[in-house]
Structure 1
Amino acid sequence: MHSLTIGTARGPARVDIDTPEAAPVSLLVLGHGAGGGVDAPDLVALRDAAREARVTVARVTQPYRMAGRRAPAPAGHLDEAFTEVVRHLRAEHPGPLLLGGRSSGSRVACRTALALDAAAIVALAFPLHPPGKPEKSRAPELATGLPTLVINGDRDAFGVPEAGGTVEVLVRPGETHDLKRDPPGIAAAVVGWLRGRGWAE
């Protein structure tokens, strides 16, 4: 792994990049949850499994977290910083671009995917709505038209999206929003999905 700091209009962001030993098949860029970081168990497990499958994995720490804040920046600021980071990475890492993340990071991936010409989206613990407020659905963010894999726990207080169109949903029994019960199983499911589409080996 190597890390670099990338300046954005919203402040510096950090990127932790893990490259496979063989020539990479694709680039997977992952964002973290609102109050968490890129070392969340599901993101780390996915990094390890994807790297073994010849995918370069870049985990992006948003500027607000770099500044020591836990409360997330506004959505527009998150999208702007993520977009700048991904465009910087694309200059060094050609090939299919896959965007993803957990919770808030998965929402950022969905909102920026079309502008960044991504091939697909991986959404872990997509927060369908605020807890207890199902009327405030974020389902439209998933409607990008791109192949999208959503993995949520059946006990997620933020709800579970419905499959439809290009969106596939895997529901993990017994998992809550943190997806901590079986990170390797989640990672294997993602890599299997990527492999089936030619984005991993």
Structure 2
Amino acid sequence: MSDLIYDLPGEDSNAVATVILAHGAGAGAESEFMASMAQLLAQQNINVVRFNFAYMQTVLATGKRRPPDRMPRLLECFNAVIARVTQQWPTLPLFVGGKSMGGRVATMLLDDSPARGGIALGYPFHPPGKPDKLRTEHLESLQKPLLIVQGERDTFGTQKEVRGYSLSSAIDTQFLADGDHSFKPRKASGYSQQQHIAAAARHCQRFIAAHL
């Protein structure tokens, strides 16, 4: 496991919680989306910890693309980070989450983790173009609170599609106007991707505050 990436509140601020954020399948923890989200949350007095899954560490070391590890390996990697972070800040409330695939991994370990809740930024409800291949079975019986922030026209699950799913009552889903899988809207919408990322961070801050 490579070093963790920390985004922390200023020296004069006391953190109210810790969030572990995992990256999506194609871009690592240092991606612009991940960095922006982490910085915005840190400004809300939240400790943010980012990390790269093992396969992404190999991608970054070799410069060669490779597919994500299988779910058991991803879960093992995420749980190892949870163990390190809870040892570092044992008394701070913990939340787990991530972008796309990273958020999915977080939702799969959430109920059995020490986290108070989870955050999924662009949940991959199904592969693009394959709406019948749903990844929602575990979300139907989820016990701990989960926030899903989703672009309205996300090809991994549009607002119309998601409204029709049978999801646990513990899940709060917030939609971003005209946003795609990375929250990027079309120009004609009048919104910008950065506005939506900022809005997503505000949803996260409110969700965390509600579960402290």
Please indicate, yes or no, whether the TM-score normalized by the shorter chain is above 0.5: yes
Structure 2 counterpart of 1:189, which letter? H
2:22 to 10, 31, 49: 31
Query: More displaced, 72-81 or 32-41?
Result: 32-41
Q: Figure out how many residues of one structure are paired with residues of the other and give that number.
A: 187
CA contact (8 A) 2:22 2:50 kept: yes
- Of structures 1 and 2, the one with the larger relative CO (CA 8 A, separation 6+) is 1
Structure 2 counterpart of 1:16, which letter? I
Shift of 1:70: 3.5
Shift of 1:31: 0.3
Which runs of structure 1 show a deviation greater than 6 angstroms over 4 or more consecutive aligned residues?
Answer: none
Q: Percent identity?
A: 28
* Structure showing the higher helix proportion among its residues: 2
CA contact (8 A) 2:96 2:106 kept: yes
Structure 1 counterpart of 2:182, which letter? D
Corresponding residue number in structure 2 for 1:185: 199
* Structure showing the higher strand proportion among its residues: 1
Q: TM-score scaled by structure 1?
A: 0.86
Structure 2 counterpart of 1:175, which letter? G
C-alpha offsets along residues 157-189 of structure 1, whole Å, 9 cap, x if unaligned?
A: 111434640101111111111223221122122
Q: TM-score scaled by structure 2?
A: 0.81
Q: Which has the larger radius of gyration?
A: 2
Corresponding residue number in structure 2 for 1:60: 51
Corresponding residue number in structure 2 for 1:102: 99
In the alignment, the residues of structure 2 paired with residue 187 and residue 85 of structure 1 have an alpha-carbon distance, to the nearest angstrom, of 22
C-alpha offsets along residues 47-73 of structure 1, whole Å, 9 cap, x if unaligned?
A: 122212211100111111111144101
> Which 5+ residue runs of structure 1 have no aligned equivalent?
1-11
In the alignment, the residues of structure 2 paired with residue 179 and residue 42 of structure 1 have an alpha-carbon distance, to the nearest angstrom, of 10
In the alignment, the residues of structure 2 paired with residue 19 and residue 84 of structure 1 have an alpha-carbon distance, to the nearest angstrom, of 20
Distance 1:189 1:45, change over 3 A: farther
Distance 1:132 1:46, change over 3 A: same
Aligned Cα RMSD in Å?
Answer: 1.7
